[in-house]
Structure 1
Amino acid sequence: MHATIGILAALHHRDLTGTGQHIEVNLLSSALSGLVNHSSAYVAGGDVPHRMGNAHPSLFPYEPLPVADGELIVIAGNDGQFARLCEVLGVPDLPGDPRFARNQDRTAHRAELRPLLVERLATRTKKDLFHELLAAGVPCAPINTIDEGVAFAEEVGLDPVVVVGEGDAAVPTVRHPISFSVTPPRYRLPPPGLDAHGAELRAWLAAPRG
């Protein structure tokens, strides 16, 4: 990702100035950049994070929580979202509890709050909760298996599967994730068989170069 961004930035600079440049990217710097919340907390404040699984160190709830048929990532990033979450779950009095009134309170008392939320979540399916919480303005997402993920992409209109090739050579595959308004991806050819286009490739390789 960082290499691609760097290349695109250098190409833009070249288009503006006519001058190229050398780009270097290393995995460690990319990893520290990707861990921006944790790495910045350390370099700016000396705070060394500890293992929390998929939980967030400074927000709660902001993690996968068990529901009747799996897990749902539930995010209450502010007090309003938490209040709406509690309304959907049928526990509207929770935000009035001093332990849970503000985000810093919920984070400090997550051990007491988590089972109260899980008790209500466990009675509902992730699909029902997903639609109801989104309608209420509470960010959430189900944790899906691959087949459920494909079905979910179809449900929201992403058309995740395309057929490449024709006839007996047709192969279903995953749609390219980037959409272009002028130059959309084409899916003309299936994955090549053994030595497919071999003659053309060998001829191209053997052709003299100016």
Structure 2
Amino acid sequence: MNHLIVKIFPLVLGAGEAKTPGMVGGKVVDTSDILNTLNGFTVYGYSEAWARKGWIFKKKDKFYGLSSKDRCRAVLQDAVTRLSTECKLSSAKKALLMLAGPPNELNKDGLNEAIHWYEHNLKGAEIRCGDYPIPKSDRITGIVFISGIYDIPRIRELMAAAAKHKKTIEEKGRIEPLVMVSCPECGSKDLQVLKSWEVAPKTRKGPAIRVTMYMCKNGHKFRKVTKLEG
């Protein structure tokens, strides 16, 4: 996704800094729009279509043959299918849409239709939008930021992995370190752990123990019993 970040952020940040009259959009996306949208976990999506200028010499894309209005709407809708990570869109609180490309290709009606589509699918979310005319561009770019999301599968996976890692560290911290473990038959220290399990104490005050089964490189199997700290 790094290449998407390189593409997206210069456009979003540049839109509010445009000073050339031909590069000032009908609705400018400024810094306040960005800051007001980025709230909590945020995902972003990106899509683009060839502009009609010089179309005959370019490879046809899935937006080929659409009118300017339909192409602007479709490219913004397509951006949500290419998000930086999977998420539950119904949990979104805010969204920012931006359309960039040649001035004569940026269709206001297409942008408005895309806004209505997002309002319908992100029920209750606050939608902001803007356009960024780029006179020499040969593409129409649709960008969407969706924020305030609380249900992201990847985040849940990371939190579960962190909890598992913490539990493993805590369990390892309870085991008294083994100074040296070697095969009682041949003295080999080249060992493989076959199995390890914890045994609860027989009395309330008694210590728990961990039993570990080893096998040395010569095939001898033996077990090691270790007392666990409280």
| TM-score normalised per structure 1 | 0.25
More helix by share: 1
More strand by share: 2
Between 1 and 2, higher relative CO (CA 8 Å, sep ≥ 6) is seen in 2
| TM-score normalised per structure 2 | 0.23
